[in-house]
Structure 1
């Protein structure tokens, strides 16, 4: 489904959105909204238009409210559940860079906590392919750097925790964009091991 951009090129807001869409090579369908009729009949003030933009503003992007809610939930889960437990493991790698000796017991405790977080992920991913549904979203990609560092630290937990967590990790970590980012990682991090 192609993105639908409702707006008027007579405003500055719509061209701002269009330049970003073009820059990012995101295909879209432009739907002109007549803003400059008499206020009582301006298209952006009609009931039909307000179904897409309840405030009747100059532009809107029609979206699937449920998909948006699932995406917001997935980002929240990454921020409040995944990142805090993953960062405990990541910080141990940072400590090594600073000359702090590796503490295996502390590492094991951090991995155990992270494992508990992945139990929740296993449940979510048992219901759909990715965190926000059956399509890949930014919420899934946000996990790559931290999970990659945990793998680099010597833990295979993201590829063995459960079938759904492993499937998702294998899918997202094999994406060409992630491979390109991995190639840009500083050498000091590529060779860093506990």
Structure 2
């Protein structure tokens, strides 16, 4: 059965889910939700996602929202299909979860407000708080140092294999590059090596092609 993904192909959270589906070779249908017209705040979408965000999925009678919950569910449901994104042992899975939590609570928590101020606020005619952005950048640089140290010891964030720990970072990392923050990655050799590696994956290239069309 084809999974319906309600979202916007240029937004980081839907991209996270789409990338997982491409890695796991899961059939899906992307149903566009127009964020510019606030379609995600309308009653039909609120039945799928009561907080008015994207993405949300429908898999037959099963419905789920929150991108990271969707990642975990489908990576477990299709363990033997496509890329193994979970880790092979209980300990490896714990490390994957650790770095997914790190992405949520440290990396994304700092990067997202920067994107909101530099991109979304001007788009909707609101002023960017440049002082706040610079403060966030300083904090994010310190987080990137932690990643650099981790990747000096490991090929990927959770060890020797590409997993959800890496995948969940990719959409926001890409947005950072687009809006002029690429130096946070390129000035750190291990982080830069990691990004060049994971962004060369066929599934990521397919996602970028989807976003370009």
User: TM-score range, shorter-chain basis?
Assistant: 0.5 to 0.7
Alignment: residue pair count = 135
| Candidates 130, 145, 157, aligned match of 2:183 | 157
Question: Residues of 1 paired with 2:146 and 2:80: CA distance?
Answer: 37
Deviations 1:41-83 (CA, angstroms, capped at 9, x unpaired): xxxxxxxxxxxxxxxxxxxxx9412211211211121111111
What does residue 138 of structure 1 align with? Answer: 164
How far did residue 89 of structure 1 move? 1.5
Gaps of 5+ in 2: 1-73
1:65 to 83, 86, 90: 90
Gaps of 5+ in 1: 1-16, 28-61, 188-194
Q: Residue 137 and residue 22 in structure 1: after superposition, are their counterparts in 2 closer, same or farther (change >3 A)?
A: closer
Separation (CA, whole Å) in 1 of partners of 2:83 and 2:140: 35
What is the aligned partner in structure 2 of residue 43 from structure 1? none
Distance 1:173 1:25, change over 3 A: closer
Mapped to 1, the partners of 2:108 and 2:123 lie a distance apart of 20
Stretch moving more, 144-153 or 159-168 = 159-168
Per the TM alignment, residue 129 of structure 1 is displaced from its structure 2 partner at its CA by 0.9
Q: Residue 211 of structure 2: SS of its match in structure 1?
A: coil
Asked if structure 2 preserves the Cα contact closer than 8 Å seen for 1:70 and 1:132, the reply is yes
Deviation at 1:136, TM superposition (A): 0.6
Alpha-carbon distance change, 106 to 121 in structure 1, aligned in 2, over 3 angstroms: same
- SS for the counterpart of 1:126 is helix
The higher radius of gyration belongs to 1
